[in-house]
Chain A
Amino acid sequence: MGRKLLLAHENVPGIDRLDVYRAHGGYASVEKALKSMKPEDVVEEVKKSGLRGRGGAGFPTGLKWSFLAKPEGVPRYLVCNADESEPGTFKDRYLMEKIPHSLIEGMIVSSYALGSNTSYIYIRGEYFYVSRILEKAIQEAYEAGWLGKNILGTDYSLDLYVQVGAGAYICGEETALIESLEGKRGNPRIKPPFPAVAGLWGCPTVVNNVETIAAVAPIINMGGEEYAKIGIGKSTGTKLISASGHINKPGVYEIELGLPVEEFIYSDQYCGGIRNGKKLKAVVAGGSSVPILPADLILKTAKGEPRLMTYESLFDGGFQSGTMLGSGGFIVMDEDTSIVKNLWNFTRFYHHESCGQCSPCREGTGWMEKILHKFLEGTANLSDIDLLWDIQSKIEGKTICPLGDAAAWPVASAIRHFKQEFEEIAKSKKFKDVSHYERLHKPAMA
């Protein structure tokens, strides 16, 4: 059985309420941190835990916190990134909706560690109803003295607010998020300066993912060293995985890092295998932005070793034969899936979501979408495959923010691993689509 730290009480009735959450050990980390630890001690424990950012990049959280500038007389801010718009990712929503106090608890301890007296949770606008759940929980926390002035009689005070966005994937990028929180368009900023020096309203700011912040509470409760014992190597602790696509049991699963991918896909405890008895064709393991891998490479590395759910194992072989853990948005595709059409879908997404500041991203995504559409119409030529390759290579690494890379990698990996699928369409001038709804509801006819 995998150990659960974030979702241990997910099925307890009423766990969204403060009294029930308290009865299951909730807010213990706030008591421990505020009464017996200095802010630096909290940072130190998080460093020891090896916790890495759960928003996608996997940057060590404790290290990120230690970069926060602390000029005299200038406020510092903690902003929680609850924008969750990476296709295939829905874990933060699940956590906030089910156990809202776990995020609030993590926000209090983390804000204390960073010296923030006003913190914000920036949540995507589509999750309006989740913002209501959070606001209700925050209200409860204020009334019980976990938020507000002089928490637990200490001289630490914290105000916590929820801010809703309004539909823009790019606002998940931390500097775009800050712009949006300032009431502007979500245009990413050029770095440096990094938010740790000049972020929200020009003040030192840390932006962390919902799951990262929620993980701080168990780390403080159990101690960083204990947390670091879970997982393998530099992939410590547990991770929420959002599983979707052609599997029997889609949903959010908390896994111990190090679980074999094969077990995750086929075990009844997790995805429960491929629907309708089909074969596995491909997996996008970490949200739409990471390279897609064919079945053989997602189950085993190029060296033939079992692939594990860790940052390192998924990346084994680099982009030639590996991928990334990313946000943990695990999208599974069965043997009948068209990789070309899925790629068109992703590319259309990035074109739609590009903020338009950099020409390689703005123009390149639209151009790639058009070419991929030619494949769907059966009018593409073999040379279009080379053209796609060329365009993606000219976006990667040449833009203000990583959305450009995120748009390039799916294209490169689809061509790298599924080139014959593109060639067949280009040669036969035919694209055969399978009606997904029919397949889903009348599997016998498929």
Chain B
Amino acid sequence: MGAQIHGTLEFNAEKRKDIRFSEEALKEIEKIKSRYPQGKQKSALIPVLHIAQAENDGWLSPEVMDYVASLLNIQPIEVFEVASFYTMFNLKPVGKCVIEVCRTSSCWLLGAEDIIKYIEKKLGIKEGQTTPDGMFTLKTVECLGSCGTAPVMQVGASYHENLTFEKVDKILDKYRAEGRRRNYTDLDYENTK
């Protein structure tokens, strides 16, 4: 087992022993590794971390990062370096649906600030927090490449565009009723334009 990851969270060697991804995920990881020349398998790290996050309730724990390092034959610190750089990786537990509202200029021009306040009020949480039932985490993010259909939010793989308060109600109520986790890697994305 690799060296301990230096992060804010404690590394738990006992927990680490129990980690194993699903067969499907491991197969996908092998496929990704085959895309690069011999000896360059580290290139698979970012795609693999997306899979790891989906396999681990939407976040990357020190134990999972250590496991990923072993899969790619690299040092755990190389995994942590990358995981901590990119905003789509969560280093803390998150709710089942992470709501990511764009806060950048074009969305701001069309009311994103008010959409964010509205969601905060509706869910009773502030940006960065998770609802007590573990259903929603609210994040604000930078331009999602959807400025022509602003304001916009992303939940897992799905884009929700041209947001209004009513539309936000509908979308969040639906997610709550379905109650399942949404990952970036989901195949059943739906984009509401």
Show the binding face of A for B, using Cβ within 8 Å. 75, 84-90, 92-93, 118, 120, 124-129, 132, 159, 161, 163-169, 180-186, 201, 242-246, 250-252, 284, 288, 329, 331, 333, 337, 341-342, 345-346, 349, 352-353, 435-441
Q: Are B106 and A88 in contact (CB under 8 A)?
A: yes
Q: Is the CB of B43 within 8 A of A181?
A: yes
Residues of B within 8 A of A349 (CB): 104-105, 142-143
The answer to whether A93 and B109 touch across the interface, beta carbons within 8 angstroms, is no
In chain B between 126 and 154, which residues have their CB closer than 8 angstroms to a CB of chain A? 141-150, 154
B88 within 8 A of A: yes
Q: Is B10 at the interface (CB under 8 A from chain A)?
A: no
What are 21 A-B residue pairs whose CB atoms fall within 8 Å in the complex? A75-B37, A85-B143, A89-B145, A89-B147, A127-B145, A128-B185, A129-B189, A129-B191, A166-B86, A167-B86, A167-B88, A180-B46, A181-B43, A183-B74, A201-B37, A250-B148, A331-B109, A346-B105, A436-B110, A436-B111, A440-B111
Would B148 and A126 count as touching, CB distance under 8 A? no
Stretch at the interface among B1-9, B19-27, B157-165, B171-179: B157-165
Chain A residues closer than 8 Å to B92, beta-carbon distance: none
Are B82 and A184 closer than 8 Å at their CB atoms?
yes
Contact of A132 (CB < 8 Å), options: B85, B143, B187: B187
Contacts of B78 in A (CB 8 A): 183-184
- B157 near A90 (CB under 8 angstroms)? no
- Do the beta carbons of B145 and A128 come within 8 Å of each other? no
Distance between Cα atoms of A140 and B138 in the complex (Å) = 38
Tell me if B146 and A93 are in contact (CB < 8 A). Answer: yes
User: Are A251 and B148 CB-contacts (below 8 A) given A129-B158, A342-B109?
Assistant: yes
Q: Any chain A CB within 8 A of the CB of B29?
A: no
Cβ-closest chain B residue relative to A164: B47
Q: Which residue of B lies closest to A353 (CB)?
A: B142
A336 to chain B, nearest CB (A): 10
- B162 CB to nearest chain A CB (Å): 10
Q: Are B108 and A183 interface neighbours, CB within 8 A?
A: no
Distance in angstroms between the alpha carbons of A367 and B5 in the assembled complex: 32
Nearest A residue (CB) for B142: A349
Report yes or no: B110 in contact with A128, Cβ–Cβ below 8 A.
no
- Additional A-B contact list (18), CB under 8 Å, known A88-B105, A120-B35: A90-B148, A93-B145, A125-B50, A128-B50, A132-B187, A161-B35, A165-B46, A166-B49, A183-B42, A183-B74, A184-B82, A242-B148, A244-B148, A288-B105, A331-B147, A345-B105, A436-B109, A441-B111
Which among A90, A163, A168, A243 has the greatest number of chain B C-beta atoms within 10 A? A90
Do A242 and B147 contact each other (CB < 8 Å), given the known contacts A201-B40, A352-B142?
yes
Contact B106 A244 (CB under 8 A): yes
Specify which chain B residues have a CB less than 8 angstroms from the CB of A331 in the assembled complex. 105-106, 109, 147
Q: How far is the CB of A432 from chain B (nearest CB, A)?
A: 15
Contact B106 A245 (CB under 8 A): yes
By beta carbon, the residue of chain B nearest A243 is: B148
The 3 closest A-B pairs by CB, nearest first: A437-B111, A437-B114, A166-B86
Knowing A87-B142, A164-B50, A250-B149 touch, does A183 contact B44 (C-beta < 8 A)?
Answer: yes
Chain B's closest residue to A127 (CB) is: B145
Q: Which residues of A are found within 8 Å of B108, using beta-carbon distances?
A: 341-342, 345, 436
A125-B50, A183-B43 are contacts. A87–B81 as well, Cβ < 8 Å? Answer: no
The reply on B65 being an interface residue by CB < 8 A is: no
Given contacts A245-B109, A329-B147, contact A166 B114 (CB under 8 A): no
B46 neighbours in A (Cβ, 8 Å): 125, 163-166, 180, 183
- A218-B176 Cα distance, complex, nearest whole Å: 47
Q: Known interface pairs A125-B86, A168-B87, A184-B82. Does A87 touch B109 (Cβ–Cβ under 8 Å)?
A: no
Closest A residue by C-beta to B118? A437
* Given A164-B50, A185-B85, A342-B105: A129 touches B114 (CB 8 Å cut-off): no
- With a cutoff of 8 Å between Cβ atoms, the chain B residues found around residue A118 in the complex are 37
Task: Tell me which residues across on chain A come within 8 A of B40, comparing CB atoms.
Answer: 182, 201
Q: Are B109 and A126 in contact (CB under 8 A)?
A: no
Distance (Å) between the CB of B119 and the closest chain A CB?
Answer: 12
Q: A244–B143 Cα gap in the complex (Å)? A: 12
Considering the chains assembled together, what is the distance between the CA atoms of A128 and B145 in angstroms? 12
Residue-wise, chain B 55-79 has the 8 Å CB interface mask toward A (1 for contact) of 0000000000000000010100010
Asked if B97 is at the interface of the complex by the 8 Å CB criterion, the answer is no
Q: Closest A-chain residue to B81, C-beta based?
A: A185
| Neighbouring B residues of A337 by C-beta, 8 Å | 109
Question: In the bound complex, what is the Cα–Cα distance between A186 and B84 (angstroms)?
Answer: 11
Nearest chain B CB to A97's CB is how many angstroms away? 9
Residue of A nearest to B89 (CB): A166
Q: A164-B46, A345-B104 are in contact. Are A88 and B147 (CB under 8 A)?
A: yes
Q: Which B-chain residue is minimally distant from A169 (CB atoms)? A: B142
Q: How far is the CB of A240 from chain B (nearest CB, A)?
A: 12
> Is B184 in the interface zone, CB < 8 Å from A?
yes
| Chain B contacts for A284, CB-based, 8 A | 105
Question: Closest A-chain residue to B191, C-beta based?
Answer: A129
Q: Which of B104, B146, B165, B191: most chain A Cβ within 10 A?
A: B104
Which of A250, A341, A435, A438 counts the most chain B CB atoms within 10 A? A250
Which B residue's beta carbon lies closest to that of A93?
B145
Q: Which residues of A contact B114 (CB under 8 A)?
A: 435-438
Q: Are B145 and A90 in contact (CB under 8 A)?
A: yes
The residues of B that contact A159 with a CB separation of less than 8 Å are 35
Residues of B within 8 A of A163 (CB): 35, 43, 46-47
Within the complex, the shortest CB–CB distance from B20 to chain A, in Å, comes to: 22
CA distance A440 to B143 in the complex (A): 20
A167 CB contact (under 8 Å) in B72, B141, B185: B141
